[in-house]
Amino acid sequence: MRRNSLNHVALILDGNGRWAKKRHQPRIFGHQQGAKVIKHLIDYALNDYVKYLTLFCFSLENWNRPQAEVKFLHSLFYQKIVSKKTLDFFLKKNICFKWLGFKTKLSKKLLDAIKLLEKKTAKNNKLTLTIAFNYGGRQDLDSKKRISSFLPNVDLLIRTGNENRISNFILYQLAYAEIIFEKTFWPDYTKKTWKQNIKEYHLRKRRFGAILPKK
């Protein structure tokens, strides 16, 4: 059976708060654990020769969450961006880091850190990791120049956390994406889950509006 090409995988990382609540922990504990899973996810993608991995981590709508949680998410993102461990990991794995988002409400300190990490990893070409932080798909399409234009079309979108919607993610690139709504909360996402998702993707018949010829 012919396998579908898998160039670009996008994920909506959902379920951190509910995962923490089940363990009688604050929501930020779930975000901390979820951040740790991203490193493993990158390895899964590299092992399957994915060229683009795009992660939805904070939407423009997420500003409506409690202020303490929003502040923590921004602090967590900054810590990961400026970490030497992060840079060393990206350089070792030949990963190009990209940020997708709007500058609105973001601190200069965070924007400068993002710009520096992008510059230091710009020549890497094995995998392009894009973090969508402070991003909205409708706002992107309505802007004078689409900020997501550097991304190719998405082959597979995975949303964790047992929610069945795309939540204003990269709407243009998702036009013909295969979508898997995964029940697993993001902090529990494992290599086994990834392999199951990829297997399901390869079993799909991608038609792109056409009728496939009979074999």
Residues acting as catalytic residues: 14, 62
Q: Name the β-bridge partners of 10.
A: 54, 157
CA distance 138 to 85: 34
- Residue 70's Cβ-side half-sphere holds a number of Cα atoms within 13 Å equal to 12
Return the structure tokens found at 212.
Answer: 């496939």
- What are the C-alpha distances in Å from 143 to residues 55, 57, 68, 111? 21, 21, 29, 20
- What are the C-alpha distances in Å from 88 to residues 114, 121, 214? 15, 10, 50
